[in-house]
Amino acid sequence: MREFTVRPMASAPHAGGLADAVFDHAMDDPDRVALGRKDADGVWHDVTSAQFRDEVMALSKGLLAHGVRFGDRVAIMCRTRYEWTVFDFALWSVGAQSVPVYPTSSAEQVFWMLYDSEVSACVVEHEDHAMTVGSVIDRLPRLKKLWQLDAGAVDELTRAGADIDDEVVHRHCRAVTPDSTATVIYTSGTTGRPKGCVITHANFMFETDTMIARWEPVFHSKRGDEASTLLFLPLAHVFGRMVEIAAIRGRVKLGHQPVMRANELLPDLAAFRPSFILAVPYIFEKIFHAARRKAEREGRTGPFDKAVDVAVKYAEAMEHKAFGLGPGPSAGLRIQHQFFEKAVYSKVRAAMGGRVRHAMSGGSGMDRRLGLFFEGAGVTVFEGYGLTESSAAATANPPERTRYGTVGQPIPGTTVHIAKDGEVWLHGGHVFNGYLNDPKATEAVLRDGWLATGDLGALDEDGYLTITGRKKEILVTSGGKSVSPAALEERVRAHALVAQCIVVGNNRPYIAALVTVDQEAVEHWLAMRGKPPLGPVDLVRDPDLELEIRRAVVAANTLVSQAESIRTFRILAHPFSEEHGLLTPSLKLKRKAIETAYTVEVDALYR
């Protein structure tokens, strides 16, 4: 199939902007709990729609008092936290545009984004961020204001705007139209300098209203309960921003968590108890591997692995039934599944707070078997696909017929087209307006309303999309064989001990790989085998570890022909990190940077 369209469910907005929802909801239902906010002692407190409206109004007036005007751009450099959401809606209330900046950005990255977008003001989280901006401020003549959240920025702005009448904000808010720019989000920049994606209020309204209309039933743990989600994705990323806006517009209780590390995230999931979550595959992998390590420590590896196998078979049988390919789970399989419910599956759900029955995953591909396991364990994970340029999701698996291993069908109102060379093209109300100050780059991806994504994919007979790679990442060996590295890398990374994998081989005689390991998983693996802790250098030379990683490579090679297979690999002593410029803030590999940093190691693979 070359093209598939799903009819729209949300109408295109004719007036207004994103901030209208804050004021409308406060008027309709002022006492409804709109957000949860954690205090300095770690205690969660409810925030009503009226309270949130008042905070947005107060901050809006403070921004006006400090000279922020309609159409101005204001940067936000911060982790995911409550104040970011207040600032977003305050800026949109006065017709200003937010420019998100990853809190881990280098000084030069910060300079480029603030310079290119011509921001007039900047909000940072703490002193380190302020120093980063301060180190380049002499090259930013348009930047007039710098506010620091941890130094009382919200109180300062609130006091400054105390004498401004509410009607002034309302006049600004009424002037916002759907085609007004809401935000400029800079791409992660896996290659080259980041480009600013201009996203309008209409783009985000179409995107979020569509997601709410189609997927709202799965926001709940059970019918009639309060919908809530804990946002731990970076708000500097389009996925996180989409979740933020959809929660406010969809009347979903929203909480914020700034750290995606399991040891900090899991306690907040237990305390906040969301009814559904939105995450990247990394989170689901961590939850699964943590559960298996716990079972191994307790001497229950065999039963756990059996429970996994039963969950996968059960979910696969249910999937076949949904597509009319089978009768569903057999009586024997249902009994086995019920047996493991209390012993295993309920504990996996408990790690996510206990109420989660549905989740959405994006950002990268999820292993089909992992998705089937979670389905069998009682958590349906709807995998989707999108880009910054498509205001987040462009496709997603529908609630009633999830096809694991795919990124689903086009979201309602969207068309997916597969070009002759296999490139995925998108058309819909969520497609962005273009790149800021870069008409040449805009022309390269926007073609008569179609977005050429740069990703390669295929549509099946039911319109489900599978992403097979990225055009710029195709490797061509010296023998002329074209290889897409994504599937190989994902399969190797599925091994519990593997943190990252990058496949190399461009203009080389064969395909090879560099692999990093998950330190926590390896420490557990060593302890369970009675082996002493090993330093990074000794670890990569350990023959037992090499054998384990070889098993992961062999499993990956079953996906491809011999000419496309990984012939050799090397385990690295340290993981690729964002701090060393080897990962984007959304954890994607910077291939050229990695190959440059590890030139010696790559060359050694071909000796």
Over range 59-77, report the average pLDDT.
98
What pLDDT shows up at residue 472?
87
Q: Which uninterrupted H or E stretch holds 289?
A: helix 281-297
pLDDT-derived band of residue 10, with 50, 70 and 90 as boundaries? Answer: confident
Query: Exposed/middle/buried for 389, CB within 10 Å: 0-12, 13-18, 19+?
Result: buried
Which CATH superfamily groups domain 277-470? ANL, N-terminal domain (3.40.50.12780)
- 566 — phi, psi (to 5°)? -75, 115
What pLDDT shows up at residue 189?
56
pLDDT-derived band of residue 585, with 50, 70 and 90 as boundaries? Answer: confident
What pLDDT shows up at residue 194?
87
- DSSP class of residue 583 equals B
Neighbours of 593 (CB within 10 A): 17
pTM (two decimals):
0.91
Query: Exposed/middle/buried for 443, CB within 10 Å: 0-12, 13-18, 19+?
Result: exposed
What pLDDT shows up at residue 549?
95
**Residues 503 and 594 sit within 8 Å (Cβ to Cβ):** no
Buried b (16+ CB within 10 A) or exposed e, 350-373: ebbbebbebbbbbbbbbbbbbbbb
**Residues 552 and 492 sit within 8 Å (Cβ to Cβ):** yes
> What is the distance between the alpha carbons of residues 248 and 457, in angstroms, rounded to a whole number?
33
Tokens of 68: 């922020």
pLDDT higher than 90, residue 428: yes
Query: Exposed/middle/buried for 535, CB within 10 Å: 0-12, 13-18, 19+?
Result: exposed
Name residues whose C-beta falls within 8 Å of residue 340's C-beta, 6 or more positions apart in sequence.
Answer: 303, 306, 307, 310, 311
Q: 351-365, 473-487, 549-563, 564-578: which has the minimum mean pLDDT?
A: 473-487
> What is the distance between the alpha carbons of residues 47 and 272, in angstroms, rounded to a whole number?
13
- 516 — phi, psi (to 5°)? -115, 155
pLDDT-derived band of residue 355, with 50, 70 and 90 as boundaries? Answer: very high
Name residues whose C-beta falls within 8 Å of residue 328's C-beta, 6 or more positions apart in sequence.
Answer: 317, 318, 320, 321
- Which of the pair, 371 or 471, is modelled with greater confidence? 371
Name residues whose C-beta falls within 8 Å of residue 346's C-beta, 6 or more positions apart in sequence.
Answer: 378
Name residues whose C-beta falls within 8 Å of residue 439's C-beta, 6 or more positions apart in sequence.
Answer: none
pLDDT-derived band of residue 589, with 50, 70 and 90 as boundaries? Answer: confident
Tokens of 458: 């295929």
The 10s digit of each residue's pLDDT in 525-583 is 999 988 888 888 788 889 999 999 999 999 999 988 888 999 999 999 999 988 888 88
What pLDDT shows up at residue 11?
84
Over range 471-484, report the average pLDDT.
87
Name residues whose C-beta falls within 8 Å of residue 401's C-beta, 6 or more positions apart in sequence.
Answer: 322, 323
pLDDT-derived band of residue 192, with 50, 70 and 90 as boundaries? Answer: low
Residue 6 pairs in a beta bridge with: 414
One-letter amino acid of 26: A
Tokens of 111: 């300079």
> What is the distance between the alpha carbons of residues 113 and 77, in angstroms, rounded to a whole number?
11
**Residues 251 and 33 sit within 8 Å (Cβ to Cβ):** no
Q: Which uninterrupted H or E stretch holds 264?
A: helix 262-272
Residue 253 pairs in a beta bridge with: 228
One-letter amino acid of 602: V
The 10s digit of each residue's pLDDT in 230-264 is 999 999 999 999 999 999 999 999 999 998 887 88
Over range 59-65, report the average pLDDT.
98
Over range 179-203, report the average pLDDT.
88
82-93 vs 166-175: helix crossing angle, rounded to 10:
80
Q: Quick one: what percent of the chain has pLDDT higher than 90?
A: 83
pLDDT-derived band of residue 607, with 50, 70 and 90 as boundaries? Answer: confident
Of 163-167, 542-546, 588-592, which one has max mean pLDDT? 163-167
- The ranges assigned to domains in the chain are 18-176+228-274, 277-470, 474-604
Nearest alpha carbon to residue 572 among 526, 512, 511, 525: 512
pLDDT-derived band of residue 364, with 50, 70 and 90 as boundaries? Answer: confident
Alpha helices in 142-237 (DSSP H): 153-160, 166-175, 201-215
- Which of the pair, 184 or 262, is modelled with greater confidence? 184
pLDDT-derived band of residue 363, with 50, 70 and 90 as boundaries? Answer: confident
What pLDDT shows up at residue 156?
97
**Is CATH 3.40.50.620 correct for 474-604?**
no
* Local structure of 23: helix, strand or coil: helix
**In the chain, what is the straight-line distance between the N-terminal and C-terminal CA atoms, in Å?**
43
**Is CATH 3.40.50.10190 correct for 18-176+228-274?**
no
Please count the CA atoms within 13 angstroms of the CA of 508 that sit on its side-chain side.
20
Q: 252-256, 513-517, 589-593: which has the minimum mean pLDDT?
A: 589-593
Over range 23-37, report the average pLDDT.
97
> What is the distance between the alpha carbons of residues 519 and 50, in angstroms, rounded to a whole number?
46
Residue in the block written with tokens 């109408």:
11
Q: What is the mean pLDDT of the chain?
A: 94
Alpha helices in 29-140 (DSSP H): 49-65, 82-93, 107-116, 127-134
Name residues whose C-beta falls within 8 Å of residue 376's C-beta, 6 or more positions apart in sequence.
Answer: 310, 311, 312, 313, 314, 315, 337, 345
Q: 4-18, 76-90, 187-201, 209-223: which has the minimum mean pLDDT?
A: 187-201
Neighbours of 599 (CB within 10 A): 10
Residue 37 pairs in a beta bridge with: 45
Neighbours of 97 (CB within 10 A): 22
Residue 426 pairs in a beta bridge with: 416, 451
Q: 315-319, 467-471, 566-570: which has the minimum mean pLDDT?
A: 467-471
**How would you write 437-484 as a 3-class SS string?**
CCHHHHHHHEECCEEEEEEEEEECCCCCEEEEEEHHHCEECCCCCEEC
CA distances from 583 to 57, 84, 576, 578 (A): 38, 24, 7, 4
Distance of alpha carbon 503 from the chain centroid:
23
Alpha helices in 482-577 (DSSP H): 485-493, 519-528, 536-540, 543-557
CA distances from 348 to 217, 285, 315, 366, 457 (A): 22, 12, 16, 18, 32
Over range 330-337, report the average pLDDT.
97
- Which of the pair, 97 or 531, is modelled with greater confidence? 97
Same fold, 18-176+228-274 and 277-470: yes
